[in-house]
Amino acid sequence: MRTQVGIIGAGPAGLLLSHLLHLRGIDSVVLEARSRDYVERRVRAGVLEHPTAELLREVGLGARMDLEGMVHHGISLRFDGADHRIGFDELLGRSITVYGQQEVVKDLIAARLEAGGELLFEVSEVAVHGLTSDRPAITFTDAEGRPRELACAVIAGCDGFHGVSRQAIPETALTVHEHEYPFAWLGILAEAPPVREELIYTHHERGFALYSMRSPELTRLYLQVDPDEEIESWPDDRIWTELHARLALGGESGLHEGPLREKGISTMRSFVASPLRYGRLFLAGDAAHIVPPTGAKGMNLAVGDVHLLARALERLLLHNESDLVESYSDTALRRVWRAEHFSWFMTSMLHRFPGNDPFQRQLQLAQLRYTAESTAAATSLAENYVGLPFS
């Protein structure tokens, strides 16, 4: 097998990169360890920044998003027993769109298959070779158990935090920055209609809670829990009781309860590996960086990465000019670190830290009050939440 760009990973980063390259006349093959059904059902992020939604429309992927996605014009910070709304439209004239990552993946897969794109699911034993040569290759075993080799000009590692791409880079060639948070999120997807049209970020003495949604029929809710908690310790009744307690205003939460389609506990970390390039291997998305979900940046950072990378690979493969691939890592990391800081800021401001230090709690409340009362502070939060330009 031979192609111009071998892409490892069929998440939003890998699929969108393949689509953007196709629009530029560049061939690619996407390899994915999971089945198509799995990646289309895997529920992840749901907030699309303004630049992400605009890019999807620009490249012909916005029709279903505009039909089914929910446009949000602000969020609420809930503390001191009240909601404090940050209005994106009033402050910036821009908005976000709630549209599940799995729906973006479905749209991308459909678009690639319609265009004749090659997507190979359920591959295994993936390994990369010749990264510092001009003839890199990917070996793998296909879904039928046959050993295969894919020769390519460039390899894009879009295979997530635990994928093979970053692990193939020598430790001496990579700098890693990592921060572990002393709490986790318990998330549920409930068959219950949302009771609000916008997200609510709650700072509560019992711990953080987030109210969000995925559709007019599905509510997405999160609770801060200890990182060593087991999901078996959280039966449905306990989850709803805690959600009602943390989201209550005037003694009532207003939440609709419903059957849980899924529930799970996710640890929280900040992680950045640099540079995002080693020879002919380029990293994008979660393969290169992780953010805590408080800032809603994960999928949007992946989109920003491949937006840059597609332009850089076009310049390299069609015009034999290497300036954009040389600057890809530095350019992408500027946006990544801004998002890392914003996600850390939101996380630190809203969560209850171990020990519940009263001094730290007063600092958090002071920041929340300033953000809610100051137009400048609210605008800064809105600008980062809605999304900074890709360029």
Q: To the nearest whole number, what is the mean pLDDT of the chain?
A: 96
Chain segment 80-98, per-residue pLDDT in tens:
999 999 999 999 999 999 9
The DSSP-derived string for 290-345 is: E--GGG--HHHHHHHHHHHHHHHHHHHHHH---HHHHHHHHHHHHHHHHHHHHHHH
Which of 72, 203, 204, 307 does the annotation list as catalytic? Answer: 72
| pLDDT for 45 | 76
List, as one string, the DSSP characters of 80-136: TTEEEEEEHHHHHS--EEE--HHHHHHHHHHHHHHTT-EEE-S-EEEEEE-TTSSS-
Q: Quote the pTM value.
A: 0.95
72 noted as active-site residue? yes
What is the rounded (10 degree) CA torsion for 53, 59, 65, 70?
A: 20
- 385 is known as an active-site residue: yes
Does 51 participate in catalysis according to the annotation? no
pLDDT at 152: 97
Nearest residue to 73 (alpha-carbon basis) of 57, 53, 93: 93
Q: What is the mean pLDDT of residues 365-382?
A: 98
State residue 158's pLDDT score: 98
Residues 378, 379, 381, 382, Cα dihedral to 10°: 110
Task: Please say if the pLDDT value at position 214 is more than 90.
Answer: no
What average pLDDT does this structure show over 111-120? 97
- For 127-152, what is each residue's pLDDT tens digit? 999 999 999 999 999 999 999 999 99
Query: What is the model's pLDDT at position 272?
Result: 98
Domain ranges for the chain, please list them. 5-72+96-177+269-346, 181-268+352-386
38 annotated active-site = no
Tell me the C-alpha to C-alpha distance, in Å, between residue 327 and each of 16, 17, 260, 276, 373: 21, 18, 46, 10, 40
- CB atoms under 10 Å from CB of 389, counted, come to 9
What residues contact residue 241 under an 8 Å CB cut-off, 6+ apart? none
Count of beta carbons in the 10 Å neighbourhood of residue 363: 13
The answer, yes or no, to whether residue 178 has pLDDT greater than 90, is yes
Active-site entry in 99, 211, 278, 385: 385
Average pLDDT, stretch 222-232? 96
Whether the per-residue pLDDT at 293 is higher than 90: the answer is yes
- Can you tell me whether residue 62 is helix, strand or coil? coil
- The whole-angstrom separation of Cα 312 and Cα 317 is 9
Segment 357-367 mean pLDDT: 95
263 belongs to the catalytic site: no
CATH superfamily of 181-268+352-386: D-Amino Acid Oxidase, subunit A, domain 2 (3.30.9.10)
Q: Which of 22, 289, 293, 307 is catalytic?
A: 293
Which CATH number applies to 5-72+96-177+269-346: 3.40.50.1100, 2.40.110.10, 3.40.720.10, 3.50.50.60?
A: 3.50.50.60
Q: Is the pLDDT of residue 231 over 80?
A: yes
Set 50, 204, 289, 297: catalytic member: 297
Q: What is the pLDDT of residues 5-53, one digit of tens each?
A: 999 999 999 999 999 999 999 999 999 999 999 999 887 778 999 999 9
When pLDDT is cut at 50, 70 and 90, the band that residue 350 belongs to is: very high
| CA pair distance 274, 206, nearest whole angstrom | 37
Residue 356 has pLDDT above 90, yes or no: no
Mean per-residue pLDDT, 304-328: 98
pLDDT the model gives residue 317? 98
- Residue from 181, 201, 211, 278 carrying the catalytic annotation: 201
Res 42: pLDDT = 83
Predicted pLDDT at 313? 98
